Amino acid sequence: GEEKEKEKKAVIDITNFTIPLVWRFFQGAYRSGCTEIKIIFDSNKALDDPYHYFTTHSAYTELGQNIPKKTPLVMIQTLVDRFIGMGIIETGKNYCIIKEMGELTPKEFENSLRRIFLVIIHMFDRLSEAIEKNELGNINICKEFHTIDLNVDRLVDYCCRILNKISTSFPDNKKTLLFSTLFLLEIIGDEFKYMSKHLALTKKSVKETLPFAEKIRGHFETYYKLFYKFDREQVIKFSQDNLNMWKGYYEEKYKNKKQVEDQQSSILRHLKNIGGLTFDITELRIEMEF
């Protein structure tokens, strides 16, 4: 019954976990709808900062970042802050208990989903602005996009949590399509992070990518409108635009054909990925009509 659904508890022992595992386990418990999550840790072990883990252990090392380690509780607090509606309510020497702070409602789902679309559109705007104003060769542009994209990730997790927790929110077949859509929206958000890395690494203007960026943005906006107001004519036009997008991409690519994959063609490639993913989520939206 409803009562049992309300109280879903999890215990996660993070001793010897890498930071990516800590994320995955907590995120898994959160998305599945747990109301209480107990985390057990080794209080003598300093841990990596959960946010900058990827920044320090990946391509970003090229940009020279060094982040100090944190005590487990500070690390967990930082982690919990990233998830909407959760708070630490009890702490002990080697454990802490995190509980749900608010009520989940279908209305919250609607609001959060709409915010995801708006954050992605904001990222398109910010990208065009950065390219136009030559905000290049600086790690700060990376950090800014990471921060904006964090909002997409938070909202996606929150939406998944609501879908899992409120069994009556949508029919099952629609739920599956919404989960897939959310998953792909998260990947679209990530593409902006990769592009910002190319902006941070390039020394010369990448303004030639602007027309393509505008095209892909228009693509995404069409999908956003279609999502809320399905229209057959729009879908046909969208499908046609999709073919033109690929044509445009290859024309650009061959126009500046270089032996080395430079930052500019990398940006084009990530924009093309967003175009492809947008077409995928449009297919899922079409399926919701049936």
Residues 215 and 174: their CA atoms lie apart, in Å, by: 29
Continuous segment of H or E residues that includes residue 289: none
Long-range CB pairs of 128-132 (<8 Å, 24+ gap) are 128/210, 128/213, 128/214, 128/217, 130/196, 130/199, 131/199, 131/206, 131/207, 131/209, 131/210, 131/213, 131/267, 132/207, 132/210
One pLDDT digit (tens) per residue for the chain, 290 residues: 344 456 899 999 999 998 899 999 999 999 999 999 999 999 888 888 777 655 545 555 566 566 778 888 999 999 999 999 999 999 999 999 999 998 889 999 999 999 999 999 999 999 999 999 999 988 899 989 999 999 999 999 999 999 999 887 788 889 999 999 999 999 999 999 999 999 999 989 999 999 999 999 999 999 999 999 999 998 998 888 888 888 878 887 777 666 456 889 999 999 999 999 999 999 999 999 99
Bridge partners (DSSP) of residue 13 are 40
Unique residue bearing structure tokens 């990376």:
142
The Cα–Cα gap between 195 and 178 comes to 26
Cα–Cα distance measured from residue 141 to residue 199, given in angstroms and rounded to the nearest whole number: 7
Residues 66-92 as b/e (b if ≥16 CB within 10 A, e otherwise) read: eeeebebbebbbebbebbbebebeeee
**What's the per-residue H, E or C state across 204-265?**
CCCHHHHHHHHHHHHHHHHHHHHHHCCCHHHHHHHHHHHHHHHHHHHHHHHHCCCCCCCHHH
Helices (H), 82-171: 106-132, 139-165
Phi and psi angles of residue 226, each rounded to the nearest 5 degrees, phi first: -60, -35
End-to-end CA distance of the chain: 30
For residues 83 and 85, give the distance between their C-alpha atoms in angstroms, rounded to a whole number: 6
The reported pTM is: 0.89
